[in-house]
Chains A and B, each alone.
Chain A
Amino acid sequence: MKARVTVSLKPGVLDPQGRAIRHALDGLGFPEVSDVRVGKIIELDVVEGTTEEQVAEMARKLLANTVIENFRVELA
């Protein structure tokens, strides 16, 4: 089975990459974009029966830095 961890910057944390992307989008003729936040998706192959809590523990211990990032776990 698959687990998917979506890691995103916490609200309020400055995102220089997102800002650069917003600027580039503006240059491409998309002035309607007011903000861009960059995150990442980490897909894990895990054994059947792995729980959401186990994956969340992986996220807390390594996959996300909870000082600056939030994460969301989905199992599929």
Chain B
Amino acid sequence: MKTAVVVFPGSNCDRDLAVALELVTGRKPAMLWHDDTSLPEGLDLIALPGGFSHGDYLRSGAIAARAPLMREVIAAAGKGTPVLGICNGFQVLTETGLLPGALMRNAGLDFVCRDVALEVVTADTPFTRGYKAGETVTIPVAHHDGNFQADADTLDRLEQQGQVAFRYAEEVNGSARGIAGILSEKGNVLGMMPHPERVVEKAHGGTDGRALFEGLLTVLA
């Protein structure tokens, strides 16, 4: 499985994500700079890491979403290449329009950094097939702008079409309908605020994130 991690100025989870991808796939991902103008051939997965791209200036993910390489990522996503955005990566994906809605300041205004319980809502996707629908997993969050908001019609559609991947099993940031992660309509783009790459080996204090990467490996290997 050939993977790539897009690095923006201010990304800070790119190495953790690369380590997790290598651990599961056995291959080092390509580390791509946001200013690049083309993607390597034959990528099976493009991952957008967490962090504070461009200092969260203007809006979290707003400037990164307009990076030259993101044009290629948007085109690849349109052709069906799986794209995973974690935390700031999720914010970038909503800013590109690949995913609906927006991630706003946490309702409590605090930066929330802790393990949270998540319900796996949809297991019928390449990203979540390593889990069982309805299963509760523990994955850490670390964000200030994770409050997912969209209009009621969009939220209804996300729920009816099975595009809600993960829901918080506890109150975390005020997200509409407790949404922690969503899929694109075609299911090949996943954005999520929690950090699965931070729980992939025992030394991390948890391994609940590992199934996400292993699930991808079974379909994309």
Chain A interface (Cβ within 8 Å of chain B)? Answer: 12-14, 16-17, 20, 61-63, 65, 67-68
Stretch at the interface among B104-112, B122-130, B198-206: B104-112
- How many A-B pairs have beta carbons closer than 8 Å: the answer is 37
A sample of 11 cross-chain residue pairs with beta-carbon separation below 8 angstroms, ordered by A number, consists of A13-B104, A14-B104, A14-B149, A14-B174, A17-B105, A20-B109, A62-B63, A65-B59, A67-B100, A67-B101, A68-B104
Residues of B contacting A: mostly: loop
Task: Give the A-binding residues of B (Cβ under 8 A).
Answer: 58-59, 62-63, 66, 94-95, 100-102, 104-109, 147, 149-151, 174
A20 to B105, CA, bound (A): 12
CB of A40 to closest CB in B, whole Å: 9
A16 touches B100 (CB 8 A): no
Taking the nearest CB of chain A, how far is it from the CB of B119, in angstroms? 22
Expressed in whole angstroms, the Cα–Cα distance for A68 and B59 within the complex equals 11
Contact A61 B62, CB 8 Å, known A16-B147, A67-B101: no
Given contacts A62-B66, A67-B94, A67-B150, whether A16 and B105 have CB atoms under 8 Å apart is yes
Residues A63 and B102 in contact, CB atoms below 8 Å apart:
no
* Cβ A63 vs Cβ B58 within 8 A: yes
The CA-CA distance from A62 to B66 in the complex, in Å, is 8
Docked complex Cα distance between A65 and B94 (Å): 10
A65 and B62 contact, CB distance less than 8 A: yes
A13 touches B149 (CB 8 A): yes
Closest CB in chain A relative to B210 CB, distance in Å: 33
Expressed in whole angstroms, the minimum distance between the Cβ of B50 and any Cβ of chain A is 19
**Min C-beta distance of B68 to chain A, whole Å:** 14
- A67-B100, A68-B102 known; A16-B58 Cβ under 8 A: no
Contacts of B107 in A (CB 8 A): 14, 16
**Cβ contacts under 8 Å, A12 to chain B:** 151
Q: How long is the Cα–Cα vector from A61 to B96 in the complex, in angstroms?
A: 10
- Also in contact, A62 and B105, with CB within 8 A (given A13-B149, A16-B147): no
Which residues in B have their C-beta under 8 angstroms from that of A65?
59, 62, 95, 102
With a cutoff of 8 Å between Cβ atoms, the chain B residues found around residue A13 in the complex are 104, 149
Chain A nearest CB, measured from B62 CB (Å): 7
